[in-house]
């Protein structure tokens, strides 16, 4: 047939339904009985059948555009199985079409991709790792032999230092994605250390400088006045001629705030041209596009979830976990705002001393070789962070804020998952496992927090035996809580994806206006 038609989707009124049910195509006794949804869907088939078999007063003339009224129960999947030949489109893909609106529903892949993209970009921007070693910074690859002219090489596989650097970033991205509360605690720990150092060193040392010193971004070289090496007016980049001639090299590690402050007391800021804030910013690889993408994608998910709740649509467990991660990611980014991102090369700063003066090495300070790097979180700091030794065993509240941040962020992150307490799950067993895991994760963060405060309050007037009892109580509770929390978090991650095996139908409904917000899915 050569007629044109235009399809307009709207709900069928009672009058039109009564008229359509008189069609012999629907009331044919040879046609098998169908359920109500199938019967409503057959209205569209009845319209097409009637236009091709008969023409009476019920249907308009075929020389005009025909508007076909389709019930709202018909989905896109039912329409795509129909073979409709028109002058607008055809089954072989020929013809011209205009604007095509997105599907009225979303699919599982849309949800997973949109959420995982947030995990990926936020964890990438949140992880502010310390500078790599000089060997890792060179980013060398195994290459094919040069051609006859000796101008071109083809990289085929990264060398071990580059693989080690990539693996370290991927490992931290995975840790931040699974346990963002640990990233919050580390960011608070480093921010407090940077603030203390910047205050002790004074001008012109800012928080950015303190972060740079703490992360091992500045190498201090001590040369004597008799040395032929002349101290540069500006800090040199690692790898220059100075690297082969200087006598001492110190790359500060985490926890060397006292050492750095002592260097400041000796006149480091006044005697040396330390990097400026602009120079630190220029060498940092933080880009506005990735930040904007993370902000837009996170904002879209939050607004979309609010709109879904307002319209009575279900939210998936993965979307709930993603929103909890977004909150932790923003907290991490707040505390790491002034920390340089992606620094590949360290600054070399020279300090001239007179012959016979005490050097950093003779003062008993550890010298960190240039082929090593400052750990992002060494084992001692991790143990102190988890066990909260400063609060459990020393009663120092001011020095235990990172551990308190770990407990509080763990409770908040787990509490968000508890919000799905009465949601629909694939089975009753899955619902029980979800409730048990979320409550266990919350309790594993809550009880060490309470015990730590009891230990802190009781330490002020405690005897030796009370202190010993609190010591073993704190260690026992904390170690048990860590084990329970890890197991509970792994269960939550597994159940988050397992729930896609049977989701409520409303979880795939789409709020129309949220599709116009720029986002990636």
Q: Other C-beta atoms within 10 Å of 109: how many?
A: 9
Distances (CA, A) of 497 to 316, 430, 494: 9, 12, 6
Residue 242 and residue 221 in contact, taking contact as beta carbons nearer than 8 Å: yes
User: Residue-wise over 51-82: b if at least 16 C-beta within 10 A, else e?
Assistant: beeeeeeeeeeeeeebeebbbeebeeeeeeee
- Helix (H) or strand (E) holding 234, with range, is none
- For residues 47 and 43, give the distance between their C-alpha atoms in angstroms, rounded to a whole number: 6
- For residues 207 and 97, give the distance between their C-alpha atoms in angstroms, rounded to a whole number: 58
Give the contacts of 508 (CB within 8 A, at least 6 positions apart). 105, 106, 107, 108
H runs (alpha helix) in 86-179: 108-126, 134-137, 160-178
- In the prediction, which pLDDT does 262 show? 52
- Mean pLDDT per block of 10 residues along the chain (521 residues) reads 38 43 50 46 44 44 45 43 41 65 79 91 84 82 66 80 89 89 88 85 80 80 54 46 34 48 50 72 76 86 92 93 93 88 77 53 38 62 63 56 84 93 94 96 86 66 62 75 91 95 90 80 67
- For residues 306 and 188, give the distance between their C-alpha atoms in angstroms, rounded to a whole number: 30
- In the prediction, which pLDDT does 429 show? 96
- In the prediction, which pLDDT does 250 show? 41
Q: 395: which 2 tokens?
A: 């009663």
- In the prediction, which pLDDT does 272 show? 56
- In the prediction, which pLDDT does 265 show? 54
- In the prediction, which pLDDT does 245 show? 29
SS3 89: strand
């Amino acid at each position: 047939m050569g007629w044109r038609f235009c399809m307009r989707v709207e709900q069928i009124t009672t009058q039109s339904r009564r008229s359509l049910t008189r069609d012999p195509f629907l009331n044919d006794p040879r046609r098998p009985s169908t359920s109500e949804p199938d019967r409503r869907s057959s209205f569209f088939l009845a319209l097409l059948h009637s236009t091709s078999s008969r023409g009476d007063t019920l249907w308009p003339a075929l020389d005009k555009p025909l508007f076909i009224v389709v019930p709202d129960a018909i989905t896109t999947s039912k329409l795509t199985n129909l073979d409709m030949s028109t002058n607008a489109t055809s089954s072989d893909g020929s013809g011209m079409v205009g604007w095509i609106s997105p599907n009225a529903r979303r699919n599982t892949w849309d949800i997973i991709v949109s959420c995982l993209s947030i995990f990926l970009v936020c964890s990438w921007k949140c992880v502010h790792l310390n500078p790599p070693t000089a060997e890792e910074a060179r980013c060398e690859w195994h290459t094919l032999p040069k051609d006859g002219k000796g101008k071109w090489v083809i990289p085929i596989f990264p060398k071990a230092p580059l693989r080690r650097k990539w693996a370290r970033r991927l490992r931290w991205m995975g840790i931040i994605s699974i346990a963002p509360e640990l990233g919050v605690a580390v960011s608070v720990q480093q921010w407090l250390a940077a603030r203390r150092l910047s205050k002790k060193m004074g001008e012109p040392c800012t928080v950015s400088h303190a972060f740079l010193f703490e992360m091992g971004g500045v190498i201090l070289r001590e040369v004597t006045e008799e040395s032929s090496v002349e101290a540069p007016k500006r800090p040199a980049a690692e790898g220059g001629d100075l690297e082969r001639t200087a006598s001492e090299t110190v790359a500060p590690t985490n926890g060397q705030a006292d050492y750095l402050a002592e260097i400041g007391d000796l006149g480091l800021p006044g005697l040396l041209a330390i990097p400026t804030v602009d120079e630190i910013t220029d060498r940092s690889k933080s880009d506005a596009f990735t930040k904007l993408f993370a902000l837009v994608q996170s904002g879209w998910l939050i607004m979309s979830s609010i709109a879904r709740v307002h319209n009575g649509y279900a939210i998936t467990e993965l979307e709930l976990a993603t929103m909890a991660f977004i909150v932790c990611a923003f907290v991490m980014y707040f505390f790491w705002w002034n920390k340089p991102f992606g620094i590949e090369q360290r600054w070399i700063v020279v300090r001239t001393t007179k012959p016979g003066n005490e050097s950093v090495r003779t003062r008993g300070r550890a010298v960190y070789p240039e082929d090593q790097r400052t750990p992002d979180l060494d084992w001692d700091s991790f143990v102190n962070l988890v066990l909260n030794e400063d609060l459990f065993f020393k009663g120092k509240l001011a020095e235990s804020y990172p551990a308190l941040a770990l407990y509080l962020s763990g409770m908040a992150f787990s509490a968000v998952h508890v919000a799905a307490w009465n949601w629909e799950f694939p089975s009753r067993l899955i619902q029980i496992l979800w409730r048990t895991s979320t409550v266990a994760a919350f309790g594993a963060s809550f009880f060490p927090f309470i015990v730590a405060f009891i230990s802190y309050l009781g330490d002020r007037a405690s005897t030796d035996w009370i202190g010993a009892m609190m010591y073993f109580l704190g260690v026992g509770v904390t170690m048990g809580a860590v084990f329970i929390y890890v197991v509970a978090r792994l269960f939550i991650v597994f159940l988050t994806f397992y729930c896609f095996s049977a989701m409520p139908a409303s979880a795939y409904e789409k709020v129309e206006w949220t599709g116009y917000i720029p986002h990636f899915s």
